[in-house]
Amino acid sequence: MSEGRWPLPTSWKWKKAGEIAQIVGGGTPTANDASNFDDSGIPWITPADLTGYREAYIGSGRRGLSKQGLAASGARVMPAGTVLFSSRAPIGYCAIADNPISTNQGFKSLVLRKELVPEFVRYYLLASKEYAEGLASGTTFRELSGSRFAELLVPVPPLAEQRRIVARLDALLGRLRRAREELARVSGLVERQRQATVNSAFFPSSESHQIRFSKLSHVITSIRTGPFGSSLHKSDYIEGGIPVINPMHINNGRIMPTSTMAISEKKARELSEFKLKTGEIIIARRGAMGRCAVVQEQHQGWLCGTGSMVITPRSEINPAYLQFFLSSPTVVQVLEEAAVGSTMINLNQPILLNLDIRLATPDEQKDIVRRIEAAFARIERAGAEAMRAAALVERLEQATLARAFRGAL
């Protein structure tokens, strides 16, 4: 055909998917009959099997069909080399059958004619997700029908050119994949570096003078636990009210409320003794130990939740210093070992009050906080750079695919 999505080299042609392949759907047998399934039987793929799947080939899914299940489903066994393309929920997953295989109705598969290289078609379909979605129909969820998929345009170069493009894409995209994998490790490295920074600030391997400690009870003026669960019911929560802060809202020294976990001003007045004040430290007492944050001015008046505790440092104690200390890995380990409970560990007031706190002069506290915050800023900049680089890798991958199917690789 002469018309296509863009101009092609003279030796290439635009063809419809229905011209280059037999389009095959899939099916699912009755799930209530266990004899329809046999995990060692006929390989059977659903879109869920391709969720997060980046390999080019697939040989089996989580389940297999028995001969009875295959006959009852309407699915067909397709040969190795068939290109499997998910046509709904979602549209755009794509892999090549590594052996004879069947699918559920979430696929439109291409049993290719001899003029097509499966790997070439797979790369093209991966680059054409939005195009395929544009051919789909439906409101609740979009689905690409077999007839619409048969109309999808595919650029077809000579066979040798297809193989050359596949080899080039394998090499280029392989390097991009390795870069993506390395960049994905950065978030874990950032968190480990944050923890190491805090720990070394309070527990250095060597120090010129002896470190002094005192119980937490000696460096705070008050401690209070959030309200009993009976004081807050599901019906008390409203959208967009005064935030209630539970452990899930405390991350990396920051308080991050959710709009759905909030209460009315009237209810907040009833629980006024649990309102947060600037300079206090809110601490998670359930689940993961070490989650704590300094209450800032913008948090004043928010409510301590049932899963949290609040302490008020003495005037000579820098709140940020105490927060960093309580979140250091060494202290977290101590709290985890002391916490009680089996299903979910809990931190009670006596455990916390008996915790040993490193003593430092106000100037030393200020200097430690300054050094930690400066290190955190550098670490977070590195993490942000890695995220930007990862986004560039994704764009470069799409640009590489786009050039490949314009004959400009």
- Tell me the pLDDT tens digit for each residue of 88-130: 989 999 999 999 999 999 999 999 998 899 999 999 999 999 9
* Residue 208 pLDDT: 56
Closest CA to 40 of 14, 59, 66: 66
215 token code pair: 């119980």
In this chain, the answer to whether the domains covering 13-157 and 209-361 adopt an identical fold is yes
Which pair of tokens denotes residue 188? Answer: 């874990």
Low-confidence ranges of the chain (pLDDT < 70): 1-2, 206-209
* CATH code linked to domain 209-361: 3.90.220.20
What residue spans define the domains of the chain? 13-157, 209-361
Q: How high is the pLDDT of residue 191? A: 87
- What local confidence, expressed as pLDDT, does residue 207 receive? 62
- Which are the contacts of 132, defined by CB distance < 8 A and separation ≥ 6? 85, 91, 92, 125, 144, 149, 152
Q: Output phi, psi for 112, to 5 deg.
A: -75, 150
Length of the chain (residues):
409
**Residue 28: phi, psi to the nearest 5?**
-130, 125
**37-45 and 63-65: which strand pairing?**
antiparallel
pLDDT at 325: 96
Residues 25, 45: Cα–Cα separation, whole Å = 12
- Rounded distance, CA 4 to CA 131, Å? 13
pTM: 0.67
**pLDDT tens per residue, range 360-369:** 999 999 999 9
* Residue recorded with tokens 């009852």: 72
Q: How many CB atoms lie within 10 A of CB 334?
A: 16
CATH architecture of the domain 13-157 equals: Alpha-Beta Complex (3.90)
The pLDDT score that the predictor gives to residue 229 is 75
